[in-house]
């Protein structure tokens, strides 16, 4: 008789794992809030063997997330250590779908790029990036406050602030979103105009490498600080939310500005390791709202009406993202 192969538990599908994880997290949250457990709605018979195979990693991942992320006072003492031990015993915690943890957007930190001796880009006719970004930022603040958002500026005057201090201010304020406003400059005269929005992530694009290098120059971070910050920035929930915010903002900017000048290019949503995005603890984007290297766009930027249009488009993008997470929709499905 041939020897039997060792028994292995059946492998659960990613979809089933997500369902189990979502239910486990919901039950944990209800328990912590002293609420009754939700009903289990079953669309089709579920294989309990698959449930057993998926539960160990999914529930342990959810338990670890809850214990690490919730305030210590909110977690029953007896649940803290066993939850961590169980999660560590299963290896890497499961990745949590963004829609499992809907959060409201109440406080936004708006970051006008550059300032003081850091002029940013500029034209021979006297347009300077640091002045344009501050003007657009103030207009955006007015739009957001008019809609009930709490809003703070990283600078409300012409002064230099390091990237480290900008991120620190947003973190200390407990912001829900961070939006940094910049104006681009392209050396390539054949494609020197357009709008692009960045979220945190790696890039091997030579232009983006040069751009981030220039923007990161005034960071205020030591080499050791940068290495520590970069260790774990590319695989968390914040990156997914930042990508969703960037898409919503980019969509509104392109839609609005192409109504005035159809030639404006949609340069897309991109990832880049801007240090001002690395150090923030909330979804964060950097929007390049126009290009001073293009004469037509420079002339438009000199007009108050065009800068107001940019600010309104930024507001609409933030609003669209805010509504998507408030409705517990997956942020990447913002329309």
Render pLDDT for 260-300 as a digit per residue (tens, 0 to 9).
Answer: 999 999 999 998 888 888 889 899 999 999 999 999 999 99
Q: Token digits for 142?
A: 């007015």
| pLDDT value, residue 242 | 92
Answer yes or no: pTM beyond 0.85.
no
pLDDT of 89 higher than 70? no
Question: How many angstroms separate the CA atoms of 119 and 131, rounded?
Answer: 8
| pLDDT value, residue 244 | 94
Q: Are 122 and 107 in contact (CB under 8 A)?
A: no
pLDDT of 42 higher than 60? no
Rounding to the nearest 10 degrees, give the CA dihedral for residues 131, 136, 142, 143: 180
Render pLDDT for 222-241 as a digit per residue (tens, 0 to 9).
Answer: 545 555 555 555 446 678 88
Q: Which CATH architecture has domain 107-333?
A: 3-Layer(aba) Sandwich (3.40)
Average pLDDT over residues 304-328: 93
The tally of CA atoms less than 13 A away on the side-chain side of residue 59 is: 13
Average pLDDT over residues 89-100: 45
Q: Pick the more confident residue, 262 or 66.
A: 262
Render pLDDT for 116-171 as a digit per residue (tens, 0 to 9).
Answer: 999 999 998 799 999 999 999 999 999 999 999 999 999 999 999 999 999 999 99
Question: How many angstroms separate the CA atoms of 155 and 283, rounded?
Answer: 19
| pLDDT value, residue 34 | 55
Question: How many angstroms separate the CA atoms of 327 and 99, rounded?
Answer: 9
| pLDDT value, residue 239 | 83
Where do the domains of the chain lie? 14-96, 107-333
């Amino acid at each position: 008789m041939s020897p039997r192969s060792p028994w292995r538990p059946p492998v659960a599908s990613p979809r089933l794992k997500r369902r189990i994880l979502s239910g486990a997290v919901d039950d944990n949250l209800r328990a912590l809030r002293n609420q009754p457990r939700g009903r289990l709605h079953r669309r089709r018979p579920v294989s309990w063997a698959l449930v057993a195979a998926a539960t160990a990693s999914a529930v342990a991942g959810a338990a670890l997330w809850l214990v690490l992320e919730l305030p210590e006072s909110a977690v029953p003492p007896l649940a803290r250590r066993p939850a961590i031990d169980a999660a560590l015993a299963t290896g890497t915690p499961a990745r949590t779908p963004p829609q499992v943890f809907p959060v409201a957007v109440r406080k936004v930190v708006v970051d006008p790029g550059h300032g003081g001796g850091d002029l940013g880009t500029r034209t021979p006719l006297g347009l300077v990036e640091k002045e344009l970004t501050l003007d657009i930022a103030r207009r955006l603040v007015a739009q957001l406050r008019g809609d009930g958002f709490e809003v703070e500026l990283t600078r409300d005057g012409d002064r230099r602030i390091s990237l480290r201090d900008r991120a620190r201010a947003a973190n200390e304020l407990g912001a829900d979103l961070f939006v940094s406003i910049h104006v681009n400059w392209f050396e390539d005269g054949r494609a020197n105009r357009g709008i692009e929005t960045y979220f945190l992530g790696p890039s091997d694009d030579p232009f983006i490498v040069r751009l981030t290098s220039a923007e990161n120059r005034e960071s205020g971070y030591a080499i050791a600080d940068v290495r520590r910050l970069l260790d774990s920035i590319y695989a968390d929930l914040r990156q997914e939310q930042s990508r969703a915010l960037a898409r919503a903002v980019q969509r509104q900017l392109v839609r609005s500005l192409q109504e005035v000048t159809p030639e404006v290019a949609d340069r897309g949503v991109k990832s880049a390791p801007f240090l001002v995005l690395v150090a923030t603890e909330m979804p964060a984007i950097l929007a390049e709202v126009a290009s001073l290297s293009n004469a037509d766009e420079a002339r438009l930027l000199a007009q108050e009406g065009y800068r107001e249009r940019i600010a309104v488009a930024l507001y609409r993008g933030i609003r669209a993202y805010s509504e998507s997470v408030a409705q517990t929709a997956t942020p990447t499905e913002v329309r």
